[in-house]
Chains A and B, each alone.
Chain A
Amino acid sequence: MDRIDPALEDIELELFVRALRQRHGYDFGHYAPASLRRRVRQLVHAHDTGTISALTGRLLHEPEFVFEVIEGLSVPVSDMFRDPPVFRALREQVLPLLASWPRINIWQAGCASGQEVYSLAILLEEEGLYDRCQIYATDFNPAALRRAQEGIYPVRAAQAWSRNYQEAGGRHSLADYYSARYEFIKLDQRLRRNVSFANHNLVTDKVFCEAQLVLCRNVLIYFANPLQDRVLGLFRDSLVRGGFLCLGLRESLDFAPSAADFTALDADLRIYRRNVFPASDGAA
């Protein structure tokens, strides 16, 4: 059995990350290392390059190769109405409060292939708010964004998604929102009417809208603490006072300096609200 030399692999990984940053402008330097290492190993395997160094070589010399690498390093996995209690809480607790704003901007950050964008659009439609809403759905992976725009997913997922939808308090049948053909379902494109899909990189880009609700679920788990802090800062700066932040079920503000700017609306479901009054200044 071949012994593995972790120190050697660390050097290769560092050079790979550096090549990606310097040559292509994608910075993975502040990603949580264990997942990143695993993904990069998968790329080595998928492209049969043998070593990470050989992968780096292709990244430097084949301009188009970066898109396959980005595809491999981003997480296009999600479900419609994943964690139904969260969507139920959005429906029952958050949307009635959002209704007090005449215009509602929603930022879905790291939308990947768009399953949650469509879930959200359905929720807003059923609660009668959608026509006042603008959803900005962003991701840094162009291929995932294209899939999100198409809204075509394998039919095998539909059964579980229907169950999720019902558990999330769905008022109809999920099948009312898609058409099934062959092995795929296609989401009703009318659901997209108030969605803007845009390329946005949480690592490098800035705030671009003022939002009443930010959803960013299961993205922060991939970031090391300094990057997590930066991104939570972005969300805070994007949110209006009293606006809502919805994170993944196992993500929290535990270690984040910006925690002081938020109050939990439902701590278990990771739904937070930006404080109306700033935590730090004003008191003195």
Chain B
Amino acid sequence: MARLEAIVIGCSAGGLGALEPLLRALAPPLPLPVIVCSHSAEPGTGLLGPLLARYARLPVREARERWPAEAGTIHLAPAGYHLLIERDRCFAYSVDEPVHYSRPSIDVLFESAADAYGAGLAGVMLTGASPDGAKGLMRIRQAGGLAIVQDPAEALASAMPQAALDQAGADHCLPLARIAPLLNELAHRE
């Protein structure tokens, strides 16, 4: 496959519990950006970032509008806005309608990231109780990128990974504990 250039991660219900061990296991130096869209981001609280920063070994920052996605950094979608990534790999925001009642939406991030990174993108779907993200994951695969889905059987909420599997399929369907090691390996593969 093509050299990996970015990782996008989507999660909803139960997401914090899944992100913790996953981000903890992503090992620096990571030569690419990780971009996370979590529905659990409550407008105005901004608690997710500081929480994850306590566990992640990479710096965690909110993705800033018009700023580039940076290698070795975990970028979080802001609460109340859709996060998109442009072809020049800079972040863009939108306040378009919520998708499956969610803003930020995983579909919106994944679809724009698929356009920006093409075959150089890995999309990761974790636990959640929404069909959001399934279309985006399909777009990633259609653009030649890699789809990784948490095994619905062990996800706290199985609906989201299951919808992703049903609509998009996956290159890897794995228990959570095996996702970070795979990403570490892919990130360093030439």
A residues engaging B (CB < 8 A)?
A: 1-4, 6, 32-35, 37-39, 75, 77-78, 218, 221-222, 225, 248-252, 254-255
Contact = CB atoms under 8 A, between A and B. Distances in A.
| Chain B interface bracket (under 10, 10 to 19, 20 to 34, 35 or more) | 20 to 34
Given A34-B86, A38-B111, A221-B65, A3 B144 contact: yes
* Most B Cβ at <10 Å: residue of A32, A33, A34, A77: A34
A252 B112 CA distance: 22
B95 A6 contact: no
Interface stretch (B24-32, B51-59, B77-85, B123-131): B77-85
A250 B78 contact: yes
A255 B114 CA distance: 26
Contact of B143 (A4, A77, A222): A4
A255 B66 contact: yes
Contact of A6 (B81, B96, B118): B118
Contacts of B84: 32, 34-35, 38
A14 to B, nearest CB: 13
A1 B85 CA distance: 24
29 contacts: A3-B142, A3-B143, A3-B144, A6-B143, A32-B92, A33-B86, A33-B87, A34-B86, A34-B87, A34-B112, A34-B115, A37-B112, A37-B115, A38-B84, A38-B96, A38-B111, A78-B95, A218-B95, A221-B65, A221-B81, A221-B92, A221-B95, A222-B94, A248-B95, A250-B78, A250-B81, A251-B65, A252-B65, A254-B66
B142 A35 contact: no
A77 B96 CA distance: 7
B142 A39 contact: no
A32 B95 CA distance: 13
Nearest to B82: A35
Nearest to A254: B66
- Is chain B's binding surface mostly helix, strand, loop or mixed? mixed
Contacts of A3: 142-144
Contacts of B114: 4
* Most B Cβ at <10 Å: residue of A78, A221, A222, A251: A221
Interface in B112-146: 112, 114-116, 118, 138-139, 141-144
B97 interface: yes
Contact of A35 (B66, B96, B139, B141): B96
Contacts, number: 67
B179 interface: no
B30 to A, nearest CB: 24
Nearest to B138: A1
A146 to B, nearest CB: 19
Contact of B97 (A77, A218, A221, A250): A77
Contacts of B66: 225, 254-255
Given A6-B118, A33-B86, A34-B85, A77 B65 contact: no
Nearest to B139: A4
* Most B Cβ at <10 Å: residue of A4, A78, A225: A4
Interface in B10-51: none
B112 A38 contact: yes
B53 to A, nearest CB: 19
Contacts of A6: 115, 118, 143
A277 B1 CA distance: 58
Nearest to B118: A6
A200 to B, nearest CB: 20
B165 to A, nearest CB: 13
Contacts of B87: 33-34
A225 to B, nearest CB: 7
B112 A1 contact: no
